[in-house]
Amino acid sequence: MNLAFMLNEVYDVTCGGSGAEFSSAIPELVRTVVTFIEIFVPVILVILGMIDIFKAVIAQKDDDMKKAQGILIKRFIYAVLVFFIVFLVKFVFSTIDKNSDINTVNCVNCFISDSTACTRVNTKTK
């Protein structure tokens, strides 16, 4: 599958002074997947927990309601963790970056959140 439809122009990029060149479509795809995970996974987890609570309320059983509340709390915690995982990755790489010659934070930003963090190398012909 050609990912060029996602971009106006496909070109080679590098990040962090590593010298490794790769297609601009790769960071674009990673950013799309990360955004999907950041937004939809927490929403789905909370909705599933709410469905469990709704089923327990309809059944009107105290044991089922307590179980459903526990599951909802766990899913809410998982949703918060999934939402903040990108922040944690950036924090870890910024800590590692202090002891490295390669600017890892720039590479992480290139792939996760900011296309301007990628350094354009050249333009490919379609």
Q: Provide block-wise average pLDDT over 10 residues at a time, the chain (126 residues).
A: 52 73 81 85 86 85 85 87 82 71 72 75 58
Q: Is 17 left (phi over 0), alpha (psi -120 to 50) or beta?
A: left
Instruction: Output the pLDDT for position 81.
Output: 87
Q: Backbone dihedral region of 104: left (phi > 0), alpha (psi from -120 to 50 degrees) or beta?
A: alpha
Domain ranges of the chain: 10-123
Helix (H, G, I), strand (E, B) or coil at 2: coil
pLDDT at 100: 62
Give residue 8's pLDDT.
Answer: 56
- Supply the pTM of this predicted model: 0.66
Q: What is the mean pLDDT of the chain?
A: 77
Please give the sequence-ordered ranges of beta strands (E in DSSP) within the chain, or none if there are none: 11-14, 22-23, 119-123
The pLDDT of residue 65 is 83
Q: Given this model, what pLDDT does residue 36 score? A: 86
Round to whole Å and give the CA distance between 38 and 8. Answer: 25
